[in-house]
Amino acid sequence: MRRPVRAAESAAAGLSGLLLLLGTACGSRLPESDFGDRPDRAPVTRAAEPIRVGLVASATSPVGGDAFTGPRDGAQAYFDALNARGGIGGRRVEVHTCDDGGSGVGNNECVHRLVEEDEVVALVATTALDYAGASLVARARVPDIGGQPIGAAYDTYPHLYGIYGSLAPRNGKPGWDGKLYGGTEIYRWFKREHGARTAAVVSYNQSASAAYARLVVRGLRAEGYEVVTEQVDFALPNFRAAAADLKERGADLVFDAIDGYGNAKLCEAMDDVGAEVLAKVTNVQNWTSTVREDYKDAPRCRNALWATGSSRNYDDTAAGHEAVREFREGTKSLKTRSQWQLEGWAAAMWFTDAARSCAGTGVTRACVDRFMATGKPYTAKGLLLPVRFERLPGPPRTRRTCLSVARWEDARGWVSQGDMDDECFDVPQLSYRP
């Protein structure tokens, strides 16, 4: 299971996109791939032969624009910097990219080309609106490293390693009996740090939006909040009415289950009616450097934006984090920066560390997968909260989880609120169906 805040965030990220959004084989013969790393069968390659990896992103999805390209761009920037330093053991990383168009058909085509035709060693930083090819990746035993859990694939299939980890069995069914679990640490943090007591949850009258909103409402109530629910029409949303009501009800916090465009319009409406809140809380997908442009008509709400996640703030230049400085240096040619770019950078670093562990046997799918499956926590030099992969027979009732929190300020950008390694809570785990 992904870290609880990540469960909620990934649901929000997938929801945002949507809303713009193996049975056991008979016999005793093991597949040949199980023996791919025997010393006497190490691949015979020239020293300069590149290591091929695949990057799948829904770059031209119905969501449009750059909604799903951040992880891809961050991973590509990392591999460019790595190749400039000589690559991995003198071998450059050859990146094969594929835009699946945000469709299941397109995703299957990308997976087929990268896995079967290009024969990539691994997929890295996958960001797919509809990861229809996930089962093919799993059957081919191709490690998929650091992907964004927009859907339930990373809690369903073996050999898939999402950027936030998983404790689920990953036996072909999502989570445990079809349920995933999320924690309440976000709500507890705002209660502890700012004394928040009333929270509004804004959603569309659309099934995915409403389902995620119900999860948020459950979490808030579990932490003792009074909850105000606001549902607007997906086709003709009246954000002004919702903003006026949450103002009337005295909401301290505003959470949402709507897309980026809707968030901007909600913020405009909040400014128009004079609704002031402690925090308008968003997720990692909207943790970007384009806030001024995205919320240009809502200056007051814009400066009440808070983002929560599971990775170190890409804007955290004052805290002395060398890994953040390396990321910023490696991405200085990009027009914008985002938290998803940083997580894509971390995913590429993860693959690189896995590939370097294969120096004695050759960089193969099986060797890289073995590194990923060790169960040891991974932090990408402190860019990520410790990521773990285990296969628990049942979901934990509670779990100690940490979170990264930042607030937007026009004059300073995203400002970290405490250190993510210290912002930790023991919180209940609440179930939901993906």
Structure confidence by residue, pLDDT tens digits, 294-349: 999 999 999 999 999 999 999 998 777 999 999 999 999 999 999 999 999 999 99
Tell me the C-alpha distance between 193 and 6, whole Å: 20
Query: What is residue 42's predicted lDDT score, i.e. its pLDDT?
Result: 44
Contact 240, 234 (CB under 8 A): no
Residue 275, SS3? coil
DSSP labels, 362-387:
-S-HHHHHHHHTT---B-TTTTBSPB
Query: What is residue 34's predicted lDDT score, i.e. its pLDDT?
Result: 40
Tell me the C-alpha distance between 365 and 352, whole Å: 13
Predicted confidence band at 434 (pLDDT cuts at 50, 70, 90)? confident
Query: What is residue 7's predicted lDDT score, i.e. its pLDDT?
Result: 42
Query: What is residue 156's predicted lDDT score, i.e. its pLDDT?
Result: 98
Query: What is residue 415's predicted lDDT score, i.e. its pLDDT?
Result: 96
Q: What is the mean pLDDT of the chain?
A: 89
* Residue bearing tokens 């914008």: 336
pLDDT, one tens digit per residue, over 190-231 is 999 999 999 999 999 988 789 889 999 999 999 999 999 999
Compute the Cα dihedral for 78, 117, 148, 387 and give only its sign: negative
Query: What is residue 37's predicted lDDT score, i.e. its pLDDT?
Result: 47
Query: What is residue 417's predicted lDDT score, i.e. its pLDDT?
Result: 96
The HSE-up count of residue 149 (CA atoms within 13 Å, CB side) is 29
pLDDT (mean) for 259-280: 95
User: Which residue spans within 125-244 are E strands per DSSP?
Assistant: 144-147, 160-162, 180-182, 198-204, 226-232
Contact 323, 381 (CB under 8 A): yes
Predicted confidence band at 6 (pLDDT cuts at 50, 70, 90)? very low
Res. 253: pLDDT tops 70: yes
High-pLDDT (> 70) share of the chain, %: 88
Res. 63: pLDDT tops 80: no
Q: Which of 36-40, 204-208, 286-290, 365-369 has the highest mean pLDDT?
A: 365-369
Res. 355: pLDDT tops 90: yes
Query: What is residue 211's predicted lDDT score, i.e. its pLDDT?
Result: 85
Query: What is residue 65's predicted lDDT score, i.e. its pLDDT?
Result: 66
Among 150-159, 310-319, 335-344, 353-362, the least confident range:
310-319
> How are the residues of the chain apportioned to helix, strand and coil, as percentages rounded to the nearest 5?
35, 20, 45
Predicted confidence band at 2 (pLDDT cuts at 50, 70, 90)? very low
Predicted confidence band at 114 (pLDDT cuts at 50, 70, 90)? very high
Measured CA to CA in angstroms, residue 254 lies from 101, 121, 226, 339 at distances of: 32, 43, 12, 21
High-pLDDT (> 90) share of the chain, %: 80
Res. 39: pLDDT tops 50: no
DSSP 8-state code for residue 68: T
Query: What is residue 212's predicted lDDT score, i.e. its pLDDT?
Result: 87
Query: What is residue 221's predicted lDDT score, i.e. its pLDDT?
Result: 98
- Which has more confidence, 31 or 51? 51
pLDDT (mean) for 178-185: 95
Res. 35: pLDDT tops 70: no
Res. 53: pLDDT tops 90: yes
Task: Give the helix ranges, DSSP H, for 274-338.
Answer: 291-294, 299-302, 322-330
Query: What is residue 433's predicted lDDT score, i.e. its pLDDT?
Result: 86
Res. 45: pLDDT tops 90: no
Predicted confidence band at 38 (pLDDT cuts at 50, 70, 90)? very low
Report which secondary-structure segment, H or E, holds 262: helix 260-273
DSSP 8-state code for residue 115: I
Query: What is residue 240's predicted lDDT score, i.e. its pLDDT?
Result: 97
Res. 40: pLDDT tops 70: no
pLDDT, one tens digit per residue, over 12-30 is 444 444 433 333 233 333 3
Contact 204, 234 (CB under 8 A): yes
Residue 218, SS3? helix
Tell me the C-alpha distance between 387 and 392, whole Å: 15
Name 332's Cβ contacts closer than 8 Å, sequence gap at least 6.
none
